[in-house]
């Protein structure tokens, strides 16, 4: 078994951290920075994997990092590290001065003085952090046991993992801003392998939430087993144009692959066709696309972004009309508008970029079975693969390997695999005929209900 434990950086007491932050900001001012910001991030994570009744991987990781941003002679500099103390503070400030002196980015940048009100948001569940490693490992073993006990055609858990994380972020700057957030999350994934004579298929189940229920092991097993067994008799359909419904998992994958087109950063770099199209109709009237950082239970929910701007929900597309790009302070200044609260750092040492939070299509009123009846005959796409190689974010074109099932007379028919679905994301948004009521976030902060998109070209047998 691969058992890895990463030693944490010295944690420092809260008073020691406060003293270090104030020392860092004071030194930044002494060295000539007109404004400075400290970004402190700490994270504890656990991950384990199981196969054939044995724990095959076990990792505990604890990290803490500090980054300093500052304006020196009108330009922004960056530096990051892990250590506290006078020497570390001096090194960070000197690195920011050097970074600002060397940067070729002449755009006007700023640090944020703060908002008068920040929305209250509870993203931390103490009970999750109290779950012991033994309980998590038992969950893995129990889910595999439940998976294998249901049907002899289920031969193995192709993948079985659980991970938990607990993280804190604090932002403090020379304008008096001092913000703190804390969240945690549990992620479980189970992939079943089914075999029957010469045929084989897989089926997966996924959960991401801030709770832990041992009974969910059997629920995951049943879901993965059902999907794998259903796909055992899958076959491609003849090549042609078919009415298509993307189920929540497939539509979320497609939306995630093209989510960058809504970034003002990409638009300003001519990497999105939506540049300058605010106020124009870019989708059917059934489409409302929401970015909601305040979504209850959302994977990417937050009350402030990584520049300290208060977050709020916004409709990126409203009834088919494109209303706004997503902005941070830098892109908003360039566009002459306010930040939408979408500043994001991939890690404590990463630069500030633009990213969506909880991005999803607003659900409609039709149940999934009603969408099937409305379509009549066609295909439901449940899984897409090849999203990195098969999508062109600039043009919106996609050509992706897919699987799902056929629909006949408004009823679920037979499983389908080894097909390729091809189209254009911008055209697909305009072609959407109906949106289901089954909003799901299947594995990330990008979500969608089932979506009936009309006819799409399918390459099969």
- Residue 290 CA, chain-centre distance (Å), reads 14
Please enumerate in sequence order all residues whose Cβ is within 8 A of that of 52, keeping only pairs 6 or more positions apart, or say none: 156
What pLDDT digit, counting tens, does each position of 427-438 carry? 999 999 999 999
Please enumerate in sequence order all residues whose Cβ is within 8 A of that of 364, keeping only pairs 6 or more positions apart, or say none: 286, 434, 435, 436, 437, 449
pLDDT tens per residue, the chain (461 residues)?
333 333 334 456 788 899 999 999 999 999 999 999 999 999 999 999 999 999 999 999 999 999 999 999 999 999 999 998 889 999 999 999 999 999 988 888 899 999 999 999 999 999 999 999 999 999 999 999 999 997 999 999 999 999 999 999 999 999 999 999 999 999 999 999 999 988 999 999 999 999 999 999 999 999 999 999 999 999 999 999 999 999 999 999 999 999 999 999 999 999 999 999 999 999 999 999 999 999 998 999 999 999 999 999 999 999 999 999 999 999 999 999 999 999 999 999 999 999 999 999 999 999 999 999 999 999 999 999 999 899 999 999 999 999 999 999 999 999 999 999 999 999 999 999 999 999 999 989 999 999 999 999 999 99
pTM: 0.94
Measured from the Cβ of residue 128, the count of other Cβ atoms closer than 10 Å reads: 17
What is the DSSP pairing of strand 240-246 with strand 378-385? Answer: parallel
CB 185 within 8 A of CB 209: yes
What pLDDT digit, counting tens, does each position of 254-267 carry? 999 999 999 999 99
Q: Where are the domains of the chain?
A: 2-224, 234-461
What pLDDT digit, counting tens, does each position of 167-213 carry? 999 999 999 999 999 999 999 999 999 999 889 999 999 999 999 99
Q: Which CATH architecture has domain 2-224?
A: 2-Layer Sandwich (3.30)
SS3 27: helix
CB 382 within 8 A of CB 440: no
Phi and psi torsions of 95, nearest 5°:
-70, -35
What pLDDT digit, counting tens, does each position of 336-354 carry? 999 999 999 999 999 999 9
């Amino acid at each position: 078994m691969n058992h890895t434990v990463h030693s944490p950086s010295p944690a420092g007491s809260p008073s020691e951290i406060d003293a270090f932050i104030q020392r860092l900001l004071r030194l930044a001012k002494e060295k000539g920075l007109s404004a400075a910001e400290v970004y402190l991030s700490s994270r504890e994570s656990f991950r384990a994997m199981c196969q054939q009744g044995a724990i095959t991987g076990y990792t505990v990781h604890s990290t803490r990092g500090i980054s300093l941003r500052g304006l020196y002679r009108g330009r922004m500099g960056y530096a990051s590290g892990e250590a506290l103390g006078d020497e570390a503070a001096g090194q960070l400030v000197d690195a920011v001065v050097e970074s600002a002196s060397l940067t070729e980015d002449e755009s006007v940048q700023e640090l944020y003085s703060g908002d008068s009100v920040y929305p209250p948001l509870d993203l931390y569940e103490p009970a999750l952090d109290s779950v012991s490693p033994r309980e998590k490992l038992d969950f893995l073993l129990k889910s595999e046991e439940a998976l294998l006990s249901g049907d002899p055609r289920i031969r193995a858990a192709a993948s079985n993992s659980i991970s938990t994380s607990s993280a804190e972020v604090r932002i403090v700057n020379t304008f008096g801003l001092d913000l703190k957030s804390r969240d945690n999350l549990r992620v479980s994934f189970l992939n079943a392998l089914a075999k029957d004579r010469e045929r084989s298929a897989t089926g997966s189940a996924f959960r991401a939430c801030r709770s832990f229920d041992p009974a969910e092991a059997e629920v995951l097993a049943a879901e993965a087993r059902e999907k794998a067994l259903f796909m055992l008799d899958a076959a491609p359909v003849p090549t042609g144009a078919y009415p298509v419904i993307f189920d929540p998992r497939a539509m979320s994958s497609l939306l995630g692959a093209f989510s960058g087109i809504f970034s003002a950063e990409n638009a300003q770099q001519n990497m999105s066709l939506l540049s300058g199209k605010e106020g124009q109709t870019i989708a059917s009237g059934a489409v409302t696309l929401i970015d909601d950082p305040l979504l209850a239970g959302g994977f990417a929910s937050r009350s402030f972004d990584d520049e300290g701007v208060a977050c709020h929900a916004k409709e990126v597309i409203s009834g088919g009309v494109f209303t706004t790009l997503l902005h941070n302070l830098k892109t908003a200044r360039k566009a002459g508008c306010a930040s939408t609260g979408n500043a994001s750092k991939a890690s404590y040492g990463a630069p500030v970029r633009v990213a969506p939070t909880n991005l999803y299509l607003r659900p409609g009123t039709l149940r999934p079975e009603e969408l099937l009846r409305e379509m009549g005959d066609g295909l439901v796409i449940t899984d897409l693969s090849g999203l990195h190689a098969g999508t062109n974010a600039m043009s919106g074109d996609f050509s992706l390997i897919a699987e799902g099932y056929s629909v006949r007379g408004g009823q679920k028919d037979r499983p389908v695999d080894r097909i390729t679905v091809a189209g254009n994301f911008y055209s697909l948004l305009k072609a959407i005929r109906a949106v289901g009521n089954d909003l799901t976030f299947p594995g990330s902060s990008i979500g969608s209900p089932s979506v009936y998109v009309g006819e799409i070209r399918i390459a099969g047998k």
